[in-house]
Amino acid sequence: MGRADYVLKIDVRRFEARYDNGPEFAPTINVEVRAALTRSSDRNVAGERLFRASAPAADNRVGAIAAAFDKAVAEVVGQLVTWVDAKGAA
């Protein structure tokens, strides 16, 4: 098995439901991830970036809140994959 060209380190900084309008209203979901891409050959940082996404929940119910978490996480992961693909191709 070969050695990977890069190492991706991810730090989840924020994964929260914020009830800015009070506990009776639907929250906004916030996800924030810091990523660092390091070259395996020389251990130099090839790139570092903060990714953020927010998604309002449609209702103040578990199902709607979970769906909003899914949406925010998918957005952050999509941004991350695009960034890693671009860095790896460079």
Mean pLDDT of 41-63: 95
C-alpha R_g of the chain: 17
Q: Would you state the pLDDT for residue 87? A: 82
CATH of domain 6-89: 3.40.50.10610
Supply the pTM of this predicted model: 0.89
The full set of domain ranges for the chain reads: 6-89
pLDDT band at 89 (very low <50, low <70, confident <90, very high): low
DSSP H stretches of helix in the chain:
62-89
